[in-house]
A and B are shown apart, each in its own frame.
Chain A
Amino acid sequence: MDIILNQYYLQIVIFVLVNAILGVSIYMTLSTGQLSLGNAGFMSIGAYTCAILTVKAGFPVYLAIPIGGAAASFISLIIGYPALRLTGIYLAIATLGFGEVVRVIILNLKITNGALGISGIPTLGTKISKMLSSFGLSRFGGLTAQQTSNLLVLVVLIFILAFLVFFCTRLNRSRVGRAFASIKADESAAEAMGINTTYYKLLAFALGAFIAGMAGGLSAHLTFFIGPKDFAYHRTVEILSFAVLGGSDLIIGPIVGALLLTMLPELLRSASEYRLMIYGALMVIMMAFRPQGLISKETVRFWKRKLGRRINQ
C-alpha cells in the first residue's frame, strides 16, 4: 500500500494519464486519416487560457479547464477551415507551422508574461481538496494532505480518460464515426458517397483540439508553471510518438503508447547517463519490428482468439 501511495509513483501515474489524454487528442484527428501536428499548439492555447483564467481572473478550475478546451477548439476551427484543404504531409507542415506561430505569439504577448511564463499556478489537487473540504470531507483515514490531493487528481483524471474512451468507442459506432473511417480509408470515395468531408474533417480536428486544450489546462495545474518552451516542437513529436508507438487504429493504441513512453524514462532512471540511449534504442527496435504500432486491429483479434480458446478449453 505504501508503494502505491508513494508520491513519486502517484505523480508518474498522473503524468501518464495526462499524456494518455493527449494521445486521445491525436487519435481523434488520425481517425480521419489527417496527420495534424498542431496538438502542442492547441495544448498551449488551452494551458494558457486556463492558467490566465484561474491565476489572474480567479475562475474556478472546473470551469477554466473546459473553457481552455473550448478556446483551443475555436481557434482550431479558424485554422482548420483553410488548412484542412491540404492533406498528408502538407497538412502536417501547415499545422506544425501553426504550432510555432502560437508559441511565438505567446512569447510576445504581455498577458502570457512572454518568455518568463506563468508561475504560481494553483494545483488541481489542492483545489479539489479545498472543494471537498467545503463539503465537509477533509481527511481520508491516515493519508497525508498531499497523498489525498494526488489521489483525488488521479480519480478525476481516470474519470476524464474513461469518459473520453467511452465517447470515442461510441463515436466509432455512430454515423460520424463511420464517416471518419470512410474518409480515412479513401477520401475521394467518401466524397463520392455523399459525405461532406470538409465538415467531418473539421469536426475531428476541433474535437482533437478540444481534448488537447483540456489536457493543456490540466497539465498547467499539475506543473505549477508553464512557459512557451513547454509547448515547442518537441512536444508535438512526443504526442505524435504516442500514436506512432502504440498504434493509431484503436483508441487503446495511443493510450498504451503514452503509458510506455511516460514510464520508460522513469523506469530507466537507474541506468543514469545511459537512460536516453536505451530509450532511443528501444524506440528504434520497436519501430523496426512493429511499424504499424504496438496495437493494431489484428493484435486485438489475435489475443481475443487466443484467450477465447483458453476459456473454451
Chain B
Amino acid sequence: MKKGLTKWLTGMMIGTLLLTTAGCGGGSAPAANSESEGAGAAKIGVVAYLSGGGAAYGQSQKEGLDLAKDEINALGKVKIDLVYEDSRGNNTEAINAVNKLINKDNVVALIGPTLSGEMFASGPIANQSEVPIMGTSTTAEGITDIGEFVFRNALPESSAVPQAVKMAVQKYNLKKVAMMYSSNNDWAVSGYKTMAQALKDNGVEVLATETFADKDTDFSAQLTKISSLKPDAIMVSSLYQEAALVLKKAREIGITVPFVGTNGFNSPELIKIAGQAADDAIVASPWYPGKENEKITKFVTDYKAKYNKIPDQFAAQSYDALYIYASALEKAGSSTDRAKLRDSLATIKDFQGVTGKFAFDEKRNPLMDATVLIVKDGQFTELK
C-alpha cells in the first residue's frame, strides 16, 4: 500500500513538472523566436539580474529595453532583436550567460550585466571575444579598464557624486560635515571614496566618519555621535533601504541639516520609506523624469502607458543604451560585424537621450551632466 502511494506521488510530481516545463516552454517561445523581426535584425544579448534580491533592477532594465526595441523597430532604420539571460546577481552565472550569448546565440553586442561585480567577472570574456559590451548600471571605478570593447552609459559615481557635493557646498555654504557609509557594500564604499575626495577638493572639513552594514536597521549610535559634533551637512553612501532609515532616525533625534547621498538616494523608495524625513536629501542623478524636455515627457508617458509606472533610472539608462547601439549600428552599416560596431560606438557623440546629452570619452565612459535633485515635500525637485 505504501509503495503504491509513493509511486502515485512520484507520478504526480513528474506530471506537474512536465506540465510546468511545457507551459513555460510555450510562454517563453515568442521571446526566443523573435527572429521573425527580419533576417537583417541585429541580435543584442542582454544579461540582467532578473531573479533574486535585485530582480527589481533587472526588471526595470528589461522594460526600458523592450520599450526602446519596439520604438526602434517601428522606426525601421535598424532592426534589433534582444536575447535575455538571467545572471541572478552571481558572477559565475554572468560569465556563463555572456558566454552563451556570444558563442551560442552569436549576438553582435551585449548590454549588461546589472552589477559592477558581474561586469568585472564577465566583461573580460566579452572583451577577449571582441564583442562590444555596454553596462547600463555599472557605476564602479575601473569598469572600462577591462578593455577596448567595454563601454558604459551608466554615469560613474566619480562623475555624479562630485557634482552633487559641489552644488550642496555652494548652496548651503558647507564648512564641516560628517560622513556615513555602508562598509560591506562594494558600491557604497566606492561612492564613499569619491565623496571624500570631492569634499577635500571643495575644502570641506570632515568631522567624523561612521560606518554601518547593509541590512542594518539601527543607526542611533552613529547619529548621536554625529549630532553632538553639529555638522553643516551629513554625507551618506549606501543603498536606499539603509539611507531611508538613516534619514528617519536623524530627523527623529533632531538633526535638521541637509543630507547628501550617492546614487542609492536616487530612488522613489527612499521617499516612500522615509516619508517626511526624506526632505532636504540631495543627490545627483543622470535621470530626472520631471525635467521639461519633449523627449523625456514622451518616454515617461509611453512607459507609463505600457507598464503603468514612472520609469526609474535603470529603465531610462537601458532605454538610452539601446538607442545608442541603434545609432552605432546605423553608422556601422552592418548588423553582424562586431569590430565595426565597436569602432562606430566609440565615436558616438552629441547623442540626445532621455538622460541628457551623451558622448563616450576616450576611455569609453559617458560624458554627461547630472541633474542635482533635492527632496522637497516628498518629491524630487531640481536643486537650482
Chain A residues within CB distance 8 Å of chain B? 6-8, 11-12, 15, 104, 107-108, 114-117, 119-120, 123, 146, 223-225, 227-230, 265-266, 269-278, 281-282, 285, 289
Contact = CB atoms under 8 A, between A and B. Distances in A.
A107 B120 contact: no
Interface string B223-235: 0000000000000
Contacts of B117: 117, 225, 227, 229
Given A7-B99, A277-B20, A271 B185 contact: no
3 pairs of A and B residues whose beta carbons are closest in the complex: A225-B120, A274-B24, A115-B186
B241 interface: no
Interface in B17-38: 17, 20-21, 23-25, 27-28, 31-32
A137 to B, nearest CB: 20
Nearest to B189: A115
Contact of A273 (B13, B24, B124, B128): B24
Interface in B267-294: none
B91 to A, nearest CB: 5
Contacts of A266: 96, 100
A28 B91 CA distance: 27
Interface in B77-124: 84-86, 88, 91-93, 95-96, 99-100, 102-104, 117, 120-121, 123-124
B128 A115 contact: no
A269 B128 CA distance: 24
B183 A265 contact: no
Contacts of A281: 13, 16-17, 20
Interface string B155-193: 000000000000000000000000000011110111000
A274 B20 contact: yes
B50 interface: yes
Interface string B108-146: 000000000100110111001100000000001010011
B10 interface: yes
Contact of B92 (A15, A270, A277): A15
Contacts of A15: 92, 96
Given A115-B186, A123-B124, A273-B50, A11 B86 contact: no
Contact of B95 (A116, A223, A265, A271): A223
B220 interface: no
A11 B95 CA distance: 8
Interface size class of B (residues with CB under 8 A): 35 or more
Contacts of B95: 11, 223
A119 B120 contact: yes
Given A7-B99, A104-B184, A223-B91, 6 more contacts: A114-B189, A225-B117, A271-B28, A274-B20, A281-B13, A285-B10
A7 B130 CA distance: 13
Contact of B84 (A119, A272, A278): A272
A228 B184 contact: yes
B139 to A, nearest CB: 12
Contacts of A123: 124
A289 B3 CA distance: 12
Contacts of B190: 116
Contact of B13 (A223, A228, A229, A285): A285
Contact of B185 (A108, A115, A289): A115
Contacts of A282: 17
Nearest to A277: B20
Nearest to B101: A8
Interface in B186-217: 186, 188-190
12 contacts: A115-B183, A117-B117, A117-B120, A119-B120, A227-B186, A230-B91, A265-B93, A273-B50, A273-B86, A274-B23, A282-B17, A289-B10
B51 interface: yes
B99 A11 contact: yes
B129 A7 contact: yes
A104 B213 CA distance: 11
Contacts of A285: 10, 13-14, 17
Given A116-B189, A227-B117, A8 B100 contact: yes
Nearest to A107: B184
A273 B51 CA distance: 8
A269 B31 contact: no
B28 A270 contact: yes
Contacts of A120: 120, 142, 145-146
Nearest to B142: A119
Contact of A224 (B50, B93, B124, B129): B124
B103 A271 contact: no
Nearest to A284: B13
A271 B25 contact: yes
Contacts of B123: 224
Given A225-B121, A227-B186, A229-B117, A11 B96 contact: yes
Given A117-B117, A223-B91, A274-B24, A12 B183 contact: no
Contact of A271 (B16, B21, B92): B21
Contacts of B51: 273, 275-276
A229 B93 CA distance: 14
A6 B31 contact: no
A8 B84 CA distance: 16
